Amino acid sequence: MSESRQVAWDGFFNARDLGGLPVRGGGTTRTGAFIRSADLRFVTARGWRAAHDAGVRTVVDLRNPHEIRPVEGEGPTARGGAAAFPPEEGGTPHPPGMTRLEVPLDDVGDTAFRQDLDRRGLNGTPLYFRPFLDRKAERCAAVLTALARSGPGGVLFHCGAGRDRTGLVGLLLLALAGVEPEAIADDYALSTAALGPLFAALGRPDQGPAAEALMAGRGLTPRGAVLDVLHGLDARAYLLEAGVPEADLARIRSRLLP
């Protein structure tokens, strides 16, 4: 990963710019338009100032409400790896001039779908991407529409680990922009090493090796699984059918492409 893509603002983990990636036909994606990240609970005031100085004006939280704030009488609920990220308590607020949106990607009411993913051992890996795309197009559409309609400036989106939900949204953004599939898969694979420091800060075991071992047992790699998802995926047609207006798709492309 080039230094220009790596985000090292204080307290950010698994954070990188979606700019600088090669687009089919030539050129690269625009730097500063969309930034992906993991949980923001450790971000300091200095880190938020750096994000603001870099042009970030909107933060989109892809998590479910019970992951964001404690629910009386309930402990953390597993959502793939979400049990490793208990609800936030406190944290440094983002500075004035930034807008924060909560647009959960999951359909928390569909417990049968989540249980099926768990039973099949797909959660926590890109193996869940295709079933999710097939079953939850409306949730993908809601997130992409929110990203498209964000105000001027950079947009930072995140979940817990910044790998699964964030990875799927990043995949759709980059595929829509025409980024080479190999570059999209390489970007996803970067999260494995990048998450070690976050799990260490949480005082919890790193989930990456277990997920990779699960996939290796099936003769797969995270990178290869992402390439399988991208094979035959027409992101524009998928999102149009899911309900994202053409004008919003054009807004995303104009943000990402010079």
Query: Number of structural domains, the chain?
Result: 1
pLDDT tens figures, 160-196: 999 999 999 999 999 999 999 999 999 999 998 899 9
Q: What pLDDT does 93 receive?
A: 86
Q: What pLDDT does 72 receive?
A: 53
Q: pTM of the prediction?
A: 0.93
pLDDT tens figures, 26-66: 999 999 999 999 999 999 999 999 999 999 999 999 999 98
**Is pLDDT of 90 > 70?**
no
* Residue 138 belongs to a domain: yes
Q: How far apart are CA 174 and CA 180, in angstroms?
A: 8
What is the percent of the chain with per-residue pLDDT over 70, rounded to a whole number?
A: 91
44-61 burial code (b ≥16 CB/10 A, e <16): eeebbebbbebebbbbbb
Q: How far apart are CA 156 and CA 17, in angstroms?
A: 9
Residue carrying the six token digits 């926590």: 124
Q: What pLDDT does 89 receive?
A: 58
Q: Is 29 left (phi over 0), alpha (psi -120 to 50) or beta?
A: beta
* Residue 10 belongs to a domain: no
Rounded to an integer, the average pLDDT of 197-225 is 91
**CB of 141 closer than 8 Å to CB of 246:** no
* Residue 210 belongs to a domain: yes
pLDDT tens figures, 110-145: 999 999 999 999 999 999 999 999 999 999 999 999
Distances (CA, A) of 51 to 12, 85, 106, 248: 10, 23, 26, 25
Beta bridge partners of 154: 56
* Residue 5 belongs to a domain: no
CA-atom Rg of the chain in angstroms: 17
Q: How far apart are CA 229 and CA 126, in angstroms?
A: 8
* Residue 11 belongs to a domain: no
* Residue 9 belongs to a domain: no
Q: How far, in whole angstroms, is CA 191 from its chain's centroid? A: 10
The CATH number covering residue 83 comes to: 3.90.190.10
**DSSP code string of 102-127:** E---S-TT-HHHHHHHHHTT-TTSGG
* Residue 189 belongs to a domain: yes
Q: How far apart are CA 171 and CA 161, in angstroms?
A: 15
Domain that holds residue 214: 16-256
* Residue 188 belongs to a domain: yes
